[in-house]
Structure 1
C-alpha cells in the first residue's frame, strides 16, 4: 500500500492555476479588519498585502480552479478505499519571497510533495499528505505554501462496559508559556489583563512577545473593565469533544477597551447568541484531577450590560 502511495509524490495537483482576482485593496482591508491588524504598511497608495494572505489570492471558491490535476483526487480515493475515510488539516507552512501589491496577477502550480508512512495518532491511524503550492506574482516567484492533512481511519467508539472510564472527561487545561503566563496569572486572580505596548501604547490581545505595530518588546498591562459585545460567534455541533456537550457557542468578544478575545458564552442558549449582544466578564472555576483553575467567560442576558455583580 505504501509503495502505491509513494508513487504519487512529485505528481502535480494543479498546473497553471490563476487567482480569481488580482491582489486588491478591498480584500486587504477585509483581512486586516478581521485580524485587527492596523499596520500602516497595509494602507495607502504604497500598500502591500499582509504576507500571511499568500493563500487567499489562490483560493478558487466553490467553482474551483482550471488546471487541477486528477492526481490528488486519485490519491484521496485510494486512501478512502483502504479505510482512511476521515480527514483533518494539521498544519501549513509559508515562505515569502517578495511583497504582493494591489494589481499583481497571481498564478500558481501545486505538487503532491510527500506522503508519510502509516502513523498512529489519537484520532486513528493514517497517512500525512503534504501539498506544496508555488505562487507567482506577474510571473515572478512570490512565495511557497505547504498544506498538510491527515487521512485516517477513525478509531472505533467505545460501546461502554467494564472498560469504560468512570466520570466526566476532564476539560483540557490551557497551554501556558512564557509569553502568556502573565495573562493566566491575572485570570487566576480574577483579573483580565490586556497588554499595552511600551513603545506606541497600543493595546493588544491575545498576548504576544512584541508589538505588531511598532515592534517594541516592552509592555505593561491594563485591567479590562469587564464589558463588551459579541463581535462574531460560531455554534459548535461537530466534531464532538468528550469534555464539551454540543451544541455550544464560542464567541469573539469585542472588549470595551477596543481589543478582542475568544471566549465561551453563558447565560443564554447557543441559538440565542447574536452579534452586537452586550456581555459581561465572569470567571468560571474548572476542577479536574489536578485541582481547580479559572477561565474567563462572558455572560449574556440579564446583568450583561452592568458592572460585575449587578443585574441590568
Structure 2
C-alpha cells in the first residue's frame, strides 16, 4: 500500500461523511486575547515589516489591520475557550493516514480599526471540510476555520484560515547526480521596464539601489515611484556589498529540478539600509543565523551561452559563522 492510499477507497465515503459532520461546530467559544491591543506589539510588528505608516504611531495610533490574528494567538499554553471539536477532527484525519499539514491561505475582513487598550474576544467555528482532494503533496482534505473577532459586542474583523491535512505522496527515490544527467535550467527572472536597470547592473556585477532624486530615500526592490514622497524621478547608487542576515528560511519543499534542497534563503539587510532576498552561501544551511555578516558575490548558473544567468548571492564572511542570536 502506498502512502497516498493510506486514505483507502474503502473508507473514503465513511471518513468524508464523518468529517463533514464537524462543519458548523465551534472550535473556540468566548476566547479572550491574552493582552489588550498595545503599542509595544504594534511597534515590534511595524519594525519587523518595515512599515513606517504614521497611522501606527503617536497618541491616535491604530493597529495595522493585518495584525488581526496576532491579538487572538494563545501562544504555547493555548486558550481556555478552545473546544474539543477541532482536535477530534484532526485525530480522525491522523487515524486515516492524513498525518501531514500545510497552510494554504487565509482571508481577513476588517470592519473597524483596533486601537491600544481594546480588549479582544473571539469565537471560532469549523466552517468547511472539503471533499477528498488529490494534490502533488498527497491526498487529503482542506479544512477551513473562521474566527470572528470582537471588542465588547462589536464585530471588528473576521479571519478565515485554510489548511490541507493530507497523506504524503510517495517520493521518488533520488538518483545520484551522475545518473541525473544535466541539471534543469533555473527559471529566469521576469524583467520589465521597472526593474530592467537592476538586472543590467547584475550582468555587470553591480548591485544597484534606486534613490529618489526628490527626497533621497533608497528603495529595494525597484519601484516606478518613491514610496516615501511619491516622486517619480530617481537615480541609482551601487551597494558596497556588505550586509547581515536580517531573517532567513530553509527551503525543503517543494522539490524543483533546478535546485538541490535544503538550502538557505535570506533576507539580507545591506549596509545602505535596504533589504534584499537572496541565497546565503559559504556555510551549511543549518549554520545560517540571524545577524551573520555576509558579503555580496555574483554567481553564474547554467552553462548557457545564449541565455546566461548571473545572480547576486551573499557569502558568510570567513570566521563569522558563529552568528548572533
- TM-score, normalization by structure 2: 0.79
* Corresponding residue of 1:152: 166
Q: CA RMSD for the aligned pairs?
A: 3.2
Higher mean alpha-carbon deviation, 58-67 vs 276-285, is at: 276-285
2:14 is the counterpart of 1:20: no
Deviation for aligned residue 1:54: 0.8
**In 2, distance between residues paired with 1:17 and 1:70?**
14
Tell me if structure 2 keeps the 8 A contact 1:179–1:208.
no
Out of 130, 134, 141, the residue aligned to residue 155 of structure 2 is 141
Higher mean alpha-carbon deviation, 295-304 vs 140-149, is at: 295-304
* Corresponding residue of 1:254: 269
Out of 313, 318, 322, the residue aligned to residue 297 of structure 1 is 313
* Corresponding residue of 2:67: 53
**In 2, distance between residues paired with 1:99 and 1:109?**
19
* Corresponding residue of 1:80: 94
- TM-score, normalization by structure 1: 0.82
**In 2, distance between residues paired with 1:114 and 1:88?**
16
Tell me if structure 2 keeps the 8 A contact 1:227–1:256.
yes
**In 2, distance between residues paired with 1:180 and 1:66?**
50
Deviation for aligned residue 1:298: 1.1
Deviation for aligned residue 1:66: 1.1
1:235-282 alpha-carbon deviations (Å, 9 max, x no partner): 638558462243x43322111221112221223444654544432222
* Corresponding residue of 1:116: 130
**In 2, distance between residues paired with 1:148 and 1:76?**
13
Deviation for aligned residue 1:137: 2.3
Tell me if structure 1 keeps the 8 A contact 2:144–2:162.
yes
**In 1, distance between residues paired with 2:310 and 2:183?**
17
Out of 49, 66, 73, the residue aligned to residue 35 of structure 1 is 49
Q: How does 1:1-312 map to 2 (within 5 A)?
A: 1-159=15-173, 166-167=180-181, 170=184, 173=187, 176=190, 181-182=195-196, 183-184=198-199, 186-196=201-211, 201-207=216-222, 213=228, 216=230, 218=232, 220=234, 222-234=236-248, 236=250, 238=252, 241=255, 243-246=259-262, 248-270=263-285, 273-287=288-302, 291-301=307-317
Tell me if structure 1 keeps the 8 A contact 2:186–2:301.
no
Runs of at least 5 residues in structure 2 that lack an aligned partner in the other structure: 1-14, 321-325
* Corresponding residue of 1:308: none
Tell me if structure 2 keeps the 8 A contact 1:233–1:249.
no
Deviation for aligned residue 1:186: 4.6
Q: 1:23 to 1:181 in 2, by over 3 A?
A: same
**In 2, distance between residues paired with 1:2 and 1:136?**
33
**In 1, distance between residues paired with 2:294 and 2:301?**
21
**In 1, distance between residues paired with 2:192 and 2:109?**
26
Count of residue correspondences:
300
Runs of at least 5 residues in structure 1 that lack an aligned partner in the other structure: 305-312
Tell me if structure 1 keeps the 8 A contact 2:186–2:302.
no
Q: 1:59 to 1:303 in 2, by over 3 A?
A: closer
For residue 170 of structure 2, give the secondary structure of its aligned residue in structure 1. Answer: coil
For residue 190 of structure 2, give the secondary structure of its aligned residue in structure 1. Answer: coil
